Amino acid sequence: MSAPKVSVVVPIYNVEKYLRVCLDSLVGQTLKEIEIICVDDGSTDSSKEIIREYVKKDARVKMIAKEKNSGYGNSMNQGFDMAGGEYIGILESDDFAEPTMYEKLYAAAHENSLDMVKSSFWFYYSVPKAYNEKYEVASKGTEKRTFCPAWDFDAPMEMVEFFNMKPSIWSAIYRAEFIRKNNIRFLETPGASFQDTSFNFKVMALAGRVQTLREAFVHYRQDNEGSSINSQSKVFCVCEEYAEIQRFLETNPFNRGMLECVANRIKYDAYMWNFDRLSPRFRYLFVERISGEFMDAFENGTMDREFFEEYKWEDVKKITEDPIGWYTEKALNQPGYSTKELLQIKQSISYRIGRGITFLPRKFMGGIQSVKDDGIIYTFKLACKKIVGRLLWKEIPRSR
């Protein structure tokens, strides 16, 4: 067999229900010079046996069988290390691809010497009946235009929009030499989720030649109950991914600059999404952590207003300056808490101690940010107004 043009890595763990559909979509690709690397992460169902069937039937199918489950990141790194293709793709084992996917992606990548080419995809629902919903990664103006994500955008919010699109690392192919030259790896955290986040950011930060396509190929399954998208137990996994992005930026100072501001902006959106999916008992723990991260970003000057919509900028300031107050207001609009329970929280000793401990840092950070945003005169007037207002409030007689 000739050298593969594309190696496709398929991470697998207990997906016997969907695996045949996935592998059939790969062996049936119109691009014949393809390598299919199945990485089984210690499955306890019949996934291993299904993979072996395909290995016997098609020489292009290869298998890495791990005895113990070591996580998605480790599986992806092992698969990428084995890949012998000019380009590397990914297909999740519960998804499936259109027959022309890798032929068309390879043609675009090879003809234009791209580091990455990314296509649109379909959200796929199989119940109550099968249907697809398209997600576009390119507009008419950007489709098939070669650009560098880190340098070629004219405005901060254009950059945010591109970096903030769904990672969908499986709707793209990557030049193997580019991946290896830059040592782009997945974060290996056993049991974690969202490990496409830091990988995707690193690729877009380092890629010199990128294209996006409006055509969709992958059917991204939404009704797999075992998928991490429905899991509420992994509270801080997304934080680990952004910590990895920060480590990456610190070791790549040439790429730091605006990208650190972009990273903090998309981190805000990711954290808000994660907050909404957590069960109530985990939410304040999460807010406490992210408030500290945002404060660090404000202090080192990498939280920039130009990368935020106005209402999001006010929101991130509120989380930073007064996490307990933000959480209490947010909880009023979240299922799982009653007004009585919130009142009990606000009257608790731990709540009052927390408010007292954070009082000076909150006021100090709020003052600094207000000066930056609105100027020293406005900040001074606002502080005076608040002081006078509180003094008058204390003098108002209360009904007994």
**Tally of CB atoms within 10 A around 395:** 6
- Which residues 6+ apart lie within 8 Å of 274 measured at CB? 235, 238, 286
Q: Facing residues of 63 across strands?
A: 38
Residues 117 and 210 sit within 8 Å (Cβ to Cβ): yes
Taking the chain (400 residues) in consecutive chunks of 10 residues, what is each chunk's mean pLDDT?
Answer: 91 96 98 98 96 98 94 95 98 97 98 97 89 87 88 91 92 98 90 81 96 96 59 76 94 85 96 86 88 94 94 95 88 59 60 60 56 58 51 39
Residues of the chain with CATH 3.90.550.10: 6-230
> How far, in Å, are 11, 146, 350 from residue 175 at the CA level?
19, 15, 53
Q: At 221, is the secondary structure helix, strand, or coil?
A: strand
- Which residues 6+ apart lie within 8 Å of 145 measured at CB? 211
How far apart, in whole angstroms, are the C-alpha atoms of residue 103 and residue 270?
33
| Angle subtended by helix axes 310-321 and 280-299, to nearest 10 | 100
Q: What pLDDT, on a 0 to 100 scale, did the predictor assign at position 104?
A: 98
How far apart, in whole angstroms, are the C-alpha atoms of residue 55 and residue 131?
31
Backbone angles phi, psi at 216, to 5 degrees: -105, 145
**Would you call the peptide bond into 128 cis, given omega within 30 degrees of 0 as the criterion?**
yes
What is the pTM assigned to this prediction?
0.81
In the block, which residue shows the tokens 């690193």?
A: 202
Q: Residue 145 is which amino acid?
A: R
Q: Facing residues of 210 across strands?
A: 116, 147
Token pair belonging to 93: 């084992």
Among candidates 64, 52, 2, 60, which has minimal Cα distance to 29? 60
**Helix residue ranges, H only, 278-348:** 280-299, 310-321, 323-332, 339-347
| CATH number given to 6-230 | 3.90.550.10
Token pair belonging to 44: 């306890």
How far apart, in whole angstroms, are the C-alpha atoms of residue 198 and residue 203?
9
- Which residues 6+ apart lie within 8 Å of 245 measured at CB? 197, 198, 201, 202, 263, 267
Token pair belonging to 331: 């909880």
Q: What pLDDT, on a 0 to 100 scale, did the predictor assign at position 392?
A: 41
Token pair belonging to 246: 């920060």
**Tally of CB atoms within 10 A around 126:** 13
Give the number of C-alpha atoms closer than 13 A to the C-alpha of residue 101, restricted to the C-beta side: 30
Q: At 201, is the secondary structure helix, strand, or coil?
A: helix
Token pair belonging to 314: 């006010």
φ/ψ region of 183 (left if φ > 0, alpha if ψ in -120 to 50, else beta) reads left
Q: What pLDDT, on a 0 to 100 scale, did the predictor assign at position 390?
A: 43
- Which residues 6+ apart lie within 8 Å of 327 measured at CB? 283, 284, 287
Q: What pLDDT, on a 0 to 100 scale, did the predictor assign at position 171?
A: 97
In the block, which residue shows the tokens 């996917």?
A: 101
Token pair belonging to 61: 């199918």
